Homo-oligomer: A and B are copies of this chain.
Amino acid sequence: MRQSSLFTKTLRDSPKDEVSINARLLIRGGFISKVMAGVYECMPLGLRVLNSINAIIREEMNAIGAEELHMSVLQNKDTWMKSGRWSAAKEVMYQFQDPGGRDIGLGWTHEEPLTAVAKHFISSYKDLPKAVYQIQTKFRNEPRAKSGMLRGREFLMKDLYSFHADEEDLNRYYEIVARAYEHIFGRVGLDARRTIAAGGLFSKYSDEFQVLSEVGEDTIFYCTECRYAVNIEVVSDFGLKSVCPECSGALAQGKSIEVGNIFKLGTAFSEAFDLTYVTGNGDKRPVIMASYGIGPGRVMGAVVEMRHDEKGIMWPDSIAPYSAHLIALGKEKSTHDAAEKLYAALQKSSIEVLYDDRDATAGEKFADADLLGIPYRLVVSEKTIKNREVEVKRRNEEKLNMVKLEDIPKLLLNSRFFTYA
């Protein structure tokens, strides 16, 4: 992509009411644009990041046998009356009457409609287990939405629902999903700890995936030696003091961002909706369920919070909007010809490259490169071209490397492949 053609430009300022670092950097970089508190539009650069996050999530979900579907935003009051959450959740669920007087809600989670639809397809033990997921826009009334992409009133969510014949099978799949979540967070560049947390309405405990960060809204106790972690809300249940019950390491306390959670729902929804199956012996039993969430937009915001400096963002290779930011400096035709040739060669190698072909100063181009945070900066100038070289800099390193023009595609070809954290 030529930067001169890009729909967005970097901006000097973000809106005055925007206090979160993730939103400020993402807005200044042209990744997102603000509509109102907690509501952002995703510009082309931001969509590229989100698409990469979603592609990683889809790969891991498909690998554990989950099928993708897409539920509706508009929700039927009758369906939500069955679980009692039409009233119980009215603080978070946008509810209104359409001009015809029909009560409508906006989906903020999808246990109810998913259980309702599963009744069409699950009736026998032969139909179990099943797992379906979606990546879909959800809505929650958040009175104080001040954390940018970390807490939105409109936000993308990956929600997975699984259906099982018995608790043993539920527990088996729950652990498979937990491992998939660890893969996902590792691949997007987040160090997320599986954390014991409160279970909400339907079970005593759940598991959250928490990233230690000063801007987080949660507080966790975590082991400084192993991966053990417990949300402060349930710490008293475990009688935790200063020593890790798993490895005897020292426990510490810290703020954290919740980037995922997994819940055992048991039969709470299947009983409300009479979702049952017939066993091999002809008995009728309620289906056992679980649900599992990740917010891809929140992941994007958390990555920015964890990986930035005073100049801008530092995207991990796996979700960067482009692998390389090619910058041509100066006005000499030979330099620009070399840059055009390199741009063509990179595209031919299917390397995603943003090419700064604008008529701008070196200072402006470098400042934009630091703000946008693309992993490899490639500078072509009269000086580098003299030796048929390119100045290569990783966004998160200071070192400048001179690399031969012809070696650049090879250098970049593996850059988007992940390494597990």
Residues in chain A within 8 A of chain B (CB atoms): 4-9, 11, 30, 33, 35-36, 39-44, 46-47, 50, 65, 67-76, 79, 91, 94, 96-100, 102, 104, 113, 117, 120-121, 126, 130, 132, 137, 139, 141, 143, 153-154
In the complex, the chain B residue whose C-beta lies closest to that of A42 is B70
A6 to B121, CA, bound (A): 9
**B69 adjacent to A153 (CB under 8 Å):** no
In the complex, the chain B residue whose C-beta lies closest to that of A117 is B33
7 A-B pairs closest in CB distance: A96-B96, A42-B70, A44-B67, A41-B71, A39-B74, A35-B72, A74-B154
A74 to B30, CA, bound (A): 20
In the complex, the chain B residue whose C-beta lies closest to that of A30 is B121
A211 to B99, CA, bound (A): 31
How near does chain B come to A5, taking the closest CB pair, in angstroms? 7
A67 to B132, CA, bound (A): 31
**B113 adjacent to A35 (CB under 8 Å):** yes
Given A33-B120, A36-B74, A117-B33, A69-B96 contact (CB < 8 Å):
no
**B7 adjacent to A132 (CB under 8 Å):** yes
**B67 adjacent to A7 (CB under 8 Å):** yes
**B68 adjacent to A44 (CB under 8 Å):** yes
**A72 adjacent to B39 (CB under 8 Å):** yes
Partner of A70, one of B9, B41, B113, B130: B41
Contacts of A43 in B (CB 8 A): 69, 117
A66 to B39, CA, bound (A): 24
A113 to B137, CA, bound (A): 18
Partner of A72, one of B5, B40, B46, B68: B40
- 16 more CB-based (< 8 A) A-B contacts, given A39-B72, A43-B117, A96-B96: A9-B120, A9-B121, A35-B74, A35-B76, A35-B79, A35-B113, A41-B71, A42-B69, A42-B70, A43-B69, A44-B69, A47-B68, A74-B139, A94-B96, A98-B141, A99-B141
A141 to B5, CA, bound (A): 37
A113 to B32, CA, bound (A): 13
A153 to B137, CA, bound (A): 16
How near does chain B come to A57, taking the closest CB pair, in angstroms? 15
Contacts of A35 in B (CB 8 A): 72, 74-76, 79, 113
Given A99-B91, A143-B100, A41-B117 contact (CB < 8 Å):
yes
How near does chain B come to A354, taking the closest CB pair, in angstroms? 12
Contacts of A113 in B (CB 8 A): 35, 41
Partner of A8, one of B121, B153, B154: B121
Contacts of A44 in B (CB 8 A): 67-69, 132
**B69 adjacent to A11 (CB under 8 Å):** no
In the complex, the chain B residue whose C-beta lies closest to that of A114 is B41
9 contacts between A and B (CB under 8 A): A7-B69, A30-B121, A35-B74, A36-B74, A40-B72, A41-B72, A41-B113, A96-B97, A99-B143
A5 to B102, CA, bound (A): 37
Contacts of A71 in B (CB 8 A): 41-42
Partner of A65, one of B5, B40, B137: B5
- Residue among A47, A74, A100, A130 with the highest chain B CB neighbour number at 10 A: A74
How near does chain B come to A211, taking the closest CB pair, in angstroms? 24
- Residue among A11, A36, A100, A139 with the highest chain B CB neighbour number at 10 A: A36
A97 to B141, CA, bound (A): 11
In the complex, the chain B residue whose C-beta lies closest to that of A130 is B7
Contacts of A75 in B (CB 8 A): 35
A41 to B116, CA, bound (A): 11
Contacts of A7 in B (CB 8 A): 67, 69, 121, 130, 132
How near does chain B come to A318, taking the closest CB pair, in angstroms? 20
Contacts of A97 in B (CB 8 A): 96
**B154 adjacent to A72 (CB under 8 Å):** yes
